[in-house]
Amino acid sequence: MPASSMFCFQCQEASKGTGCTLTGVCGKDPETANLMDLLIYVCKGIAVLQQPLRAQRGAHAAVDHFILDALFCTITNANFDVTSIAARVTHGLELKRELIAEAAAAGIAIPTIAEVRWAGAPDTYASVGKLVGVLQAVNADIRSLKELVIYGLKGMAAYAEHAFNLGFADDGIHAFIQHALAETTRQDLTADQLVALVLETGQWGVTTMALLDQANTTRYGNPEITTVNLGTRTNPAILISGHDLKDMEELLEQTAGTGVDVYTHSEMLPAHYYPAFKKHSHLAGNYGNAWWKQREEFESFNGPVVFTTNCIVPPVENAGYKDRIYTTGAAGFPGFQHIPARADGKTKDFSQVIAHAKRCPAPTQLETGSIVGGFAHAQVLALADQVVAAVKSQAIRKFVVMAGCDGRMKSRDYYSDFAQSLPEDTVILTAGCAKYRYNKLQLGDIGGIPRVLDAGQCNDSYSLALIALKLKEVFQLDDINELPIVYNIAWYEQKAVIVLLALLHLGVKNIHLGPTLPAFLSPNVAKVLVENFGISPISTPEDDIAAWIG
């Protein structure tokens, strides 16, 4: 294998803290990595063509959805299936040819840049993919800023796709994503102009998360305080992972009355908090922990597992559960069975999964007991008087936002140790799978307010921002950074990137990011984030608690 078969540094696990060059730490092979780079390259060409066409005739639904899906499927741990990625490249080239013809007919000059001109055959995909990735930008700072934009767009696309599946869309989001992709092809943009584009990406990240919040709460109601069972029943069952609540809804409806239970896994845990899902008595509980423990947990579950999105951990060769895994949407893995997309307004068909579940024994119990969640913005604001009183009486000294991602590196024990070491007059606000580092610890409560308030999935970090803005208003503060809130954010992949950029847009400063700073930040770009926004790395739980809380 060549010295550098690929290059990828989009996630926290980037090899040696610099980038994966032989194979991805995530399990992504070089061919898949290079085809993903090629798919983004094709998206850039489409976006460049779409700019003048959009100005003339407005949006193009097929383009909008293609770009969302393409960005989403290149998120870390979402899709490892080289065949499906190559098929997307082919479809993108077809769309690009249509746009070129449309532009020519409209008298629009066709840009001569390579992203627009390239129209290679499938047998060239692998070789071209190696040439058009991250390292084509020679200047480290320009490369860093462009990739920061692109990774933010990937996270934004994931959230926009979830909202779209529920019938909610905002043309402004599509227009910005395509504009930003087109801007990354320009060779004349300065670092200052790219910093402005990064911050604009954060602005649209807020808009996108607000749209998804509206979609989820309109469809399923506002999350409410809920006790979730951690044990198992005696029925055969399906385990659903990922983030897509539309898939969750359809699976629950199709399993009703079949004798098959449904358990949530990892980021799907917050589905229990929505009133609409509580009517399903066969929604049995949550099974397991964060995504990275799935190899052992899927073995013991015994039944089929449905990945609605990322985060897939490639199974070992002799894994006994490989024939029980199903993917859908942007997710994919060679050998896993894939559930096709919805067609003509119909629902997805989960009948194959349900039939499979009926042939399997019930899950093997991993643990007993329960956990409490459902502290999204509407629920916390309903408790605002109680929370404000606790702050004013100094029963609560600090809130610590510990949102974000979990991961498998030993360094992430920091977050469990940090949570356990926090003074008893502090409350943790969390969203995302980072919560699995501390949501099962017995941390108690403060006057009936649990010391861990789980707002939901990573996209529900928007709830934490709304809570902070409401507290700023209640305490009549001029600056959100005057609140008694510390931000200790764990990150892993690109949805965490858009959450970070959204917080920066909202004016939040002094965010502590770990377990390591992103490899895609050049020293100069990191310096800008430190000097302008106060972003800093973590150190040890003891030192950080002493410095941030006292």
Q: Do the domain assignments include residue 111?
A: yes
The confidence score (pLDDT) of residue 1 equals 34
Residues 173 and 41 in one domain: yes
Q: Do the domain assignments include residue 481?
A: no
**Cα–Cα dist 208/214, whole Å:** 10
Count of the separate structural domains present in the chain: 2
Helices (H), 221-291: 245-255
Residues 117 and 183 in one domain: yes
Residues 347 and 210 in one domain: no
Query: Which amino acid, residue 249?
Result: E
- Assess contact for 463 and 499: CB atoms under 8 A: no
With CA atoms as reference, report the closest residue to 47 among 63, 26, 25.
63
| Regions in the chain scoring below 70 on pLDDT | 1-3
The confidence score (pLDDT) of residue 166 equals 97
How crowded is residue 355: how many other Cβ atoms within 10 Å of its Cβ?
A: 12
The confidence score (pLDDT) of residue 2 equals 42
Residues 202 and 246 in one domain: no
**Cα–Cα dist 208/502, whole Å:** 10
Residues 210 and 242 in one domain: no
CATH number, position 232: 3.40.50.2030
The confidence score (pLDDT) of residue 459 equals 86
Q: Do the domain assignments include residue 395?
A: no
The confidence score (pLDDT) of residue 372 equals 96
Boundary (domain end) residue, out of 296, 331, 358: 358
3-state secondary structure 493-550: CHHHHHHHHHHHHCCCCCEEEECCCCCCCCHHHHHHHHHHHCCEECCCHHHHHHHHCC
- The CA R_g of the chain, rounded to the nearest whole Å, is 23
Place of tokens 């009133």: 275
Containing domain of residue 238, as a range?
A: 226-358
Boundary (domain end) residue, out of 153, 188, 218: 218
Residues 40 and 188 in one domain: yes
Residues 164 and 233 in one domain: no
- Assess contact for 176 and 512: CB atoms under 8 A: no
Q: Do the domain assignments include residue 517?
A: no
CATH number, position 84: 1.20.1270.20
Place of tokens 């809920």: 226
Q: Do the domain assignments include residue 116?
A: yes
Q: Do the domain assignments include residue 127?
A: yes
Residues 184 and 281 in one domain: no
**Cα–Cα dist 452/450, whole Å:** 5
Residues 106 and 247 in one domain: no
Residues 238 and 166 in one domain: no
Q: Do the domain assignments include residue 82?
A: yes
Residues 59 and 132 in one domain: yes
Residues 151 and 91 in one domain: yes
Boundary (domain end) residue, out of 332, 358, 384: 358
Using alpha carbons, list the distances in angstroms from residue 200 to 153, 188, 207, 505: 11, 18, 11, 8
Spatial strand order of the sheet with 485-490 comes to 452-454, 426-430, 398-401, 485-490, 511-514, 536-537
- Assess contact for 243 and 212: CB atoms under 8 A: no
Q: Do the domain assignments include residue 449?
A: no
Q: For 177-206, how does the pLDDT look when each residue is reduced to its tens digit (9 = 90+)?
A: 999 999 999 999 999 999 999 999 999 999
